[in-house]
Amino acid sequence: MSLKFPIYMDNHATTRCDPRVVEAMLPYFTEDFGNAASRNHKYGWVAEEAVDYAREQVQKILGARSEKEIVFTSGATESNNLAIKGAAHQYKDRGNHIITVKTEHKAVLDTCKRLEREGFEVTYLDVDSRGQISPDDVKKAITDKTILVSVMLCNNEIGTVQPIAEIGKITRERGVLLHTDAVQGVGRMPFHVDEMNVDLVSISAHKIYGPKGVGALYVRRNKPRVRLTAEMDGGGHEHGMRSGTLNVPGIVGLGKACEILVKEMEQDIAHVRGLRDRLRKKLEGALEMVHLNGAEDPWRHPGNLNVSFSFVEGEAMMMGIKDVCVSSGSACTSASLEPSYVLRALGVDTELAHSSIRFGLGRFNTEEEVDYVAQIVIREVNRLREMSPLYELHQEGVDYKTIQWVAH
Amino acid sequence: MAYSDKLIEHYERPLNVGTLDKEDPNVGSGLVGAPACGDVMRLQIKVNPETQVIEDAKFKTFGCGSAIASSSLATEWVKGKTVEEAMALKNTDIVKELNLPPVKIHCSVLAEDAIKSAIADFRRKQAVARGEDPDVGIGQKDENVVQLSK
């Protein structure tokens, strides 16, 4: 099989739409273009039926009891905003304290920061060197003012899986709502809203081989019945929680993506895990000083390989492997010139954070691609190390950490 | 962001990568930047003490593509120049030549600092050889302490 360039290994950023998803969506752009809120004609009924069917498909992947617990949104950023702000504003009379984690996605962290400006108090929990929080820390952080705990299922940069089930036991016992941003985790690991006692779950279609611009929020309706204050005013769609005409083709696509994952989850996981382990073995076999960022299985996303190649800067690395699409925690890849806040929260040395590369394996990657990528990554790391004064110091037996550098 | 062809050329086929003998009295070494900032540049020059002409220059850089390209260009530019001429090189010349985007201007600043630091080291060594006070203010005073001229 011939390779097609560039090779895409950035499946945490987004995924290619599965052709089966596209096929399912197509009729809803043309023949069946109706507004799902049109109650009085065929076009509306067909659209509503499609949305209801998608709701059931999403319900199944989350293990929700009722399809009524699924609220469609424009994506996970909106789902996270709606879950956190909606719950905070709804339950502000009960308390003003929210607990989250330092390594959450910005859609959660910045939402919490805005709430702080409104007078809410937010605790940002620390993670250990693998990126995990301790359920005990959640227990200790809960006060009688706490209304919500928000912890992601799986981290988008380092792939660390959080112990949601254990956290859920605690929040349920204390009568505090639990939200999880499950964007990266859903379909990659067993997940069930009842077994994990979560009350709010954000998911996104484009991370699971569906289209961009559509997501969902699970909102528990029973034990406890969660109410959210709507963040947008309008026609009162989605049980009044999210106004706006439904994106019918997108929702159909999200539903289909979930259906495929439910059916094929086991083989999908085995496929990406096999590729990830193959890549890791090749890199670690050929190169010294390759550091894994994050946790080992079972606390790791099966398709995530985030590694730091000592003495090589991440952006230079990415320029060198320009036929391969990956991402880096290096400052140079961001406008802020700050290295990844996630890696820093783990306590990874700043220089290693600059050297990190995230490979995100997905459904459409192949062994041939992994072999090619491993080969050129090894070539580039060696080339850049030959050019690196830090590597030369290392070879001379000098630990560059003992040198007093003058920061600029 | 899209980089210029010249920058990519210097990144993919950098000129003058390597190491000169730092014990040689005619070699000046400059080591600037910090690993924690994501870039470290070491630039070395070999100077003819009679003519003060930089006869060879080598670099090694830990940093992004722009940092590598800036160092490669800096070594190429100082070769054949006198120390005085090399002192006059400005980071803005590098920015112009490589068409560095605004977020990468610090790479050119680092390259200019590396040149100045290497020259200061060379001058310090020459002063020592002449039996003068080596402390000329900038450059490496100590093996393990890197001074950065600002």
Say whether A332 is catalytic.
yes
Which one-letter DSSP state was computed for residue A302?
A: T
Model pLDDT for residues B119-131, shown as the tens digit of each residue: 999 999 999 988 8
A254 plus A391 within the same structural domain: no
pLDDT of residue A332: 64
Together in a domain, A78 and A186 = yes
The ipTM assigned to this model is 0.87
Give me the CATH number covering residue A278. 3.90.1150.10
Does residue A1 lie within any of the structural domains?
no
Mean pLDDT of A157-169: 98
Of B7, B69, B107, B120, the catalytic one is B107
How many whole angstroms separate alpha carbon A94 and alpha carbon A92? 5
pLDDT score for B145: 43
Q: How far is B77 from chain A (nearest CA, A)?
A: 19
A257 and A269 part of one domain: no
Q: How far away is chain A from the Cα of B25, in angstroms, using its nearest Cα?
A: 21
Is A407 among the domain residues?
no
pLDDT digits (tens, 9 = 90+) for A24-81: 999 999 999 999 999 999 999 999 999 999 999 999 999 999 999 999 999 999 999 9
Tell whether A31 is covered by a domain: yes
Whether A408 maps to a domain, the answer reads no
A110 and A58 within one domain: yes
Q: Report d(CA A295, CA A252) in Å as an integer.
A: 35
**What integer pLDDT is reported at residue A335 of this predicted model?**
61
Question: In Å, how far are A169, A406, B120, B121 from B136, measured between CA atoms?
Answer: 67, 18, 8, 9
**pLDDT confidence of A330, banded at 50, 70, 90?**
confident
Would you say residue A307 has pLDDT above 70?
A: yes
Last residue of a domain, which of A205, A231, A261?
A261
Per-residue pLDDT tens over the stretch A222-239:
999 999 999 999 999 999
Interface residue of B62, B100, B142, B149 to substitute, partner A, most A CBs within 10 Å: B62
The answer as to whether A244 is a domain residue is yes
pLDDT of residue A392: 96
- The reply to whether A300 and A251 lie within a common domain is no
Q: What average pLDDT score do residues A133-141 get? A: 98
Question: What is the per-residue pLDDT for A334?
Answer: 60
| Whether B38 and A405 lie within 8 Å, measured CB to CB | no
- Cβ-based neighbour number of residue A192 at 10 Å: 13
pLDDT at B136 over 60: no
Q: Answer yes or no: is pLDDT of B95 > 70.
A: yes
Q: What is the CATH number of the domain that holds A148?
A: 3.40.640.10
- Do A216 and A139 belong together in one domain? yes
Mean of all residue pLDDT scores within chain A: 95
- Enclosing domain of residue A235: 19-261
Domain presence at residue A339: yes
- Judged against a pLDDT cut of 80, whether residue B148 lies above it is answered with no
Asked, for residue A170, whether it belongs to a domain, the answer is: yes
End position of a domain, from candidates A216, A245, A261: A261
Question: Does A205 share its domain with A315?
Answer: no
pLDDT band at residue A404 under the 50/70/90 scheme: confident
Q: Answer whether residue A296 shows pLDDT above 50.
A: yes
What are the backbone dihedrals phi and psi of residue B40, each rounded to the nearest 5 degrees, phi first?
A: -135, 130
CA quadruple A22, A28, A29, A31: dihedral sign: positive
Total domains in the fold of chain A: 2
The pLDDT assigned to A401 comes to 83
Residues A306 and A221 both lie in one domain: no
Measured between beta carbons, the chain A residues lying within 8 angstroms of B105 are none
Asked if A234 and A292 sit in the same domain, the reply is no
pLDDT of residue A36: 96
Residues A65 and A159 in one domain: yes
DSSP secondary structure code for residue B84 in this structure:
H
Give the DSSP per-residue string, A358-406: EEE--TT--HHHHHHHHHHHHHHHHHHHHT-HHHHHHHTT--GGGSB--
Residues A230 and A373 in one domain: no
**pLDDT tens column, A79-109:** 999 999 999 999 999 999 999 999 999 999 9
Q: Which of A261, A294, A317 is the last residue of a domain?
A: A261
A392 is a domain residue: yes
| Residue pLDDT, tens place only, B26-79 | 999 999 999 988 899 999 999 999 999 999 999 999 999 999 999 999 999 999
User: Which residues on A lie below 8 Å from B10 (Cβ)?
Assistant: none
Tell whether A34 and A126 lie within a shared domain: yes
